[in-house]
Structure 1
Amino acid sequence: MVAFALLVSSCSDVPIAPPSADLPARFAGAPPKPQLHVSPIKAEWWSGFADKELAVLIATGRSQNPRLRQASAKVEQARAEVGIASSSLFPSLSAGVGSSRGDKYGFGTSHSNKYSTVSGDWTVDLFGAKHAQKRAAEAKLAAAISDQTQAENELLASIASTYVDVRYYQRRIQISERHGGKPAAQSRLRGR
């Protein structure tokens, strides 16, 4: 009996916390850490430019970018997998009702059959496999959300950077045209 208890306990999936160590706040002789006053970035940081055209471009990019759509679909799929993994931890119950009609012996007599079924199932997670599957599904969901955030940030940065570059070159062209293409004005633009 003791051997069985040891065997069962050795197969269980128990989360183990990493060991902790008492470490000093900084190395001896190291300069003190500078205090940084960083404010968090607003969710819609591009609104700080107060440019309606940029806002429209970003809204269009967010709604029509295939990479973002794919990332959103992966998040939804990972959420569904968490639900499936979670549901396997609980008992299940199924029921059915039906009827049939036919000639059982081929003599031209018909008969009707009506039936109903009820069944239940619960698999005890003795060795922790189902809990491990749930944790794996949750980790996959966290990774999918992180990938979605990264894809969105890359898209927004690309749109904003390209838009700022376009506006910069448009302004340079306006300045050049205003000065009529005079060599002195052009050399000032080039920094000579």
Structure 2
Amino acid sequence: MGLKRITVVLTGLVLCLVFYCDKTFAQQRDNRYLENEMPANWDPDSLFVQTLPIEDSWWQGFNDTLLDSLISKAVENNYDLLMAADRIRQAKAVFRESQAGFYPGVSFSGGWTRQQSSENTTRMPYPIDRITQYASAEASVNWEIDVFGSIRNRMKASKEMYRASREDYNAVMVSLCAQVASGYAQLRTYQQQRIVAEQNIASQKAILHITEVRYNTGLVSQLDVAQAKTVYYSTKASLPALEAAIEQQINGLSILLGLYPSELKPVLITAAPLPDYLKLVSVGIPANLLRQRPDIRAAERTVASYAASVGAAKSDYLPKFYLKGSIGFASREMDNFFNNKSLTYQIAPTLNWTLFQGTQRIQALKAAKAQLDENIRQYNQTVLNAVQEVENAMSGYSGSIKQVVALREVIVQSELTLKLSLDLYKQGLAPFQNVLDAQRSLLSYQNSLVSAQGGALSYLIQLYRAVGGGWLGQ
């Protein structure tokens, strides 16, 4: 009786200690879960509205059917996305496997044995039956009763990892759509720069012809012709680099779409305008990032998984209860096999409590807590990175739009400068150097405008990606 009382008291003390530690650790974990508060609002700007968007197919707002089809093809064929789907299936299988711990294990065994013994090994005064046979069939059950939550916590850990894998899939989806849109935007930027170069080549060729005519009539020296040719051929020399850049962008897009470049090139080689980049963007309030961005949701699920693993490690300190049983038949004679007298059974409730195992369980608990702390910090870092990405994309997009507006006015004045300087040159009232400067400036400003337009589109795509890239799960 004394030993029984001591066992009960020890069990109660251990339970109280474990539950107290669970509560204290949970409070500490909650206090550290978000070390940095989210900003209340983004910096105000007339280009942004802090409300939730309506739909999640954000790329359709560019009104480019070809881009829509490219993203659809990428979602079907991209290998990174398909591998992410495979990881979901793996995590789901692990989760289902952990659920099996709640159910009893049932096994069946049966056999028949016939044996003949040697007559020369016996020294009996009377004859014996040298041939014996034995038949048995038995069904057994082994069931761990999850009193202290060991199985439950491990199942929860695998369940949260399964949920995290789904969020990782969403994150890959967001990244893929953004990469396709960004690659498409860069392709159209290069194509527009090629058009700018070709237009300037045509204009410079006409001006070269004017200088040759004036040289042939003796109005100017050959220097004007040489300078005009220098500008003309330098602009032509920029075309091969642009062509190579266009080819490389098509190759990059083909990888994202899971296609060979030869399949995609006929579709994209023809130049087209940049998609519409001037928009009023719904960015939501900063707190919405916590439920919009898949990477933040995945990090949150991972933290929950490791928190459950800590609970499972603590439950290993406590006893485990098993219910074992079996029922079957055994008989020497098959005629009596299913007779009541051949019935066998066993019922064996069991308690298994490892009181000492070196420091194995202590170190396992420390490792689980360290993993949880690491993932809490990773969660906080993910939130900070998300805020930074949104801020950078917003400032970049706003700056690009302002740059586009300014460059358009610059180009208007640059075109006027070229026209006036060329008119004065034809009249012999100004040197050809003014025309050369105007040509170079116009080409540079036009390229800058196309780059700024492409940059604005890229920043807009980055912004969509930074605030959730489609607001999956809304």
TM-score, normalised to structure 1, is 0.68
Q: Secondary structure at the match of 2:141?
A: strand
1:132 is aligned to 2:132? no
Say whether residues 1:2 and 2:13 are aligned partners. Answer: no
Alpha-carbon distance in structure 1 between the residues aligned to 2:73 and 2:21:
47
Paired with 1:119 and 1:12, the residues of 2 have a C-alpha distance of 35
Aligned ranges 1:51-130 → 2 under 5 Å: 51-93=64-106, 118-130=139-151
Root-mean-square deviation (CA), in Å?
Answer: 3.7
String of CA shifts for 1:152-178, please: whole Å, max 9, x gaps. 222211110110111122223234434
Distance 1:188 1:72 in 2: 50
Q: Which has the larger radius of gyration?
A: 2
Identity of aligned residues (%): 24
1:18 matched to 2:27? The reply is: yes
Quote the offset at 1:137 in angstroms. Answer: 0.6
Question: Which deviates more from structure 2 when the two are superposed, residues 114-123 or residues 7-16?
Answer: 7-16
CA distance in structure 2 between the partners assigned to 1:128 and 1:76 by the alignment? 26
- Seen in structure 2, the aligned counterparts of structure 1 residues 177 and 186 have a Cα distance that, compared at 3 Å, is farther
Aligned residue among 138, 146, 151 for 2:167: 146
Determine if the alignment matches structure 1 residue 188 to structure 2 residue 201: no
Distance 1:56 1:132, change over 3 A: same
> Aligned equivalents of 2:107 and 2:440: distance in 1?
81
Partner SS for 1:75: helix
Secondary structure at the residue paired with 2:202? coil
**Structure 2 unpaired stretches of 5+:** 1-7, 32-39, 43-48, 117-134, 205-417, 419-438, 447-474
Match of 1:18, SS? helix
Inter-CA distance 68–13: structure 2 relative to 1 (3 Å threshold): farther
Q: 8 Å contact 2:103–2:143 — kept in the other structure? A: yes
CA positional deviation for 1:49: 1.6
The alpha-carbon distance between structure 1 residues 189 and 41, as it changes in their structure 2 partners (threshold 3 A), is farther
Structure 2 match to 1:26: none
Matched to 1:128, the amino acid is G
The corresponding residue for 1:108 is none
Matched-pair contact (CA < 8 Å) for 1:78–1:144 = yes
8 Å contact 1:8–1:127 — kept in the other structure? no
Find the residue that maps to 2:144 and give its secondary structure: coil
Q: Which one has a larger percent helix, Structure 1 or Structure 2?
A: 2
Q: Offset of 1:41 from its aligned partner? A: 6.8
* Cα 1:116–1:67 shift into 2, 3 Å: farther
The change in CA–CA distance for 1:161 and 1:137 in structure 2 (over 3 A counts) is: same
Residue equivalent to 1:28:
none
**C-alpha deviation, 1:47, in angstroms:** 1.3
Alpha-carbon spacing, 1:90–1:155, altered in 2? closer, same or farther (3 Å) = same
Matched residue count? 172
Deviations 1:30-69 (A, max 9, x none): xxx5587232373211111222221222122222222212
Alpha-carbon distance change, 175 to 129 in structure 1, aligned in 2, over 3 angstroms: same
Separation in structure 1 between the aligned mates of residue 185 and residue 20 of structure 2, nearest angstrom? 53
Structure 1 gap segments, 5+ residues each? 22-32, 106-113
The answer to whether the 8 A contact 2:200-2:443 is kept is no
Q: Is 1:93–1:120's contact at 8 Å kept on the other side of the alignment?
A: yes
**Letter of the structure 2 residue corresponding to residue 85 of structure 1:** S
CA distance in 2, matches of 1:155, 1:75: 17
TM-score (norm 2): 0.31
Q: Distance in 1 between matches of 2:138 and 2:71?
A: 55
Cα 1:15–1:143, aligned 2, differ >3 Å: closer, same or farther?
A: farther
